[in-house]
Amino acid sequence: MSDTYESILKLRAIRDFEDRPIPEEQLEAVLKAAQWTGSSKNRQNWAFVVVDDARQKDRLTKAGDFTTPIAHAPVAICLVEEPEGYEFDTGRLAQNIMLAADAIGLATCPITLHRDEIAADVLKLPEGRRCRYAIAIGYAAPTAGAARFGGRKSLNELVHRNHYS
Ligand SMILES: Cc1cc2nc3c(=O)[nH]c(=O)nc-3n(C[C@H](O)[C@H](O)[C@H](O)COP(=O)(O)O)c2cc1C
């Protein structure tokens, strides 16, 4: 199996991070992976807001219900849907960011911003833009434990052939 395949299987959401910044070239490498994500009709209707200011991170935590990883991480990458952007594309962005980060030794946690009107205010998004998801990113703390909700459903439960049965 390729390293990519192994990485996909072992990628976990990490919620505790070391108290140290991400070097600029590492952050740029992750953002480049986001930049090269495919999108519907290659429209790239997205923008990335990199939040590393402590006060901004704190304000952002108010926009969702399970946002403590943002408070723990040195950086949150906020995924902004530009007008006519698709949530599917945002999902692809998120996974590319997470896998790229993992490949260079960083850990991540996707974060839902349930109250995206708060996120829009914090990030000063112009009219028509929305930010529903962010990725908390940093170096995994040695204490970073197992997933809050571990495991996966079996393939037997998930896979249907020719029709849903
Ligand atoms: C769309 C999406 C939104 C998520 N939102 C949050 C969140 O707001 N806070 C959080 O701590 N984890 C969040 N997670 C992480 C999931 O809880 C985690 O991926 C899931 O429990 C499986 O754990 P694992 O990825 O470590 O295997 C989110 C994951 C996805 C895919």
pTM: 0.96
pLDDT for position 21: 98
Mutation pick for ligand 1 pocket among 111, 113, 115, 133 (CB with most ligand atoms within 8 Å): 111
Q: Mean pLDDT per segment of 10 residues, for the chain of length 165 residues? A: 93 97 98 98 97 98 98 98 96 98 98 98 98 98 73 96 96
Q: Which domains does the chain have, with CATH numbers?
A: 3-142 (3.40.109.10)
Determine if ligand 1 sits within 6 Å of the CB of residue 111: yes
pLDDT for position 146: 57
Q: Give the Å distances, CA to CA, from 70 to 110, 112, 163.
A: 9, 11, 41
The residue behind tokens 């049965």 is 165
**Ligand 1 centre and the CA of 111: distance in Å?**
7
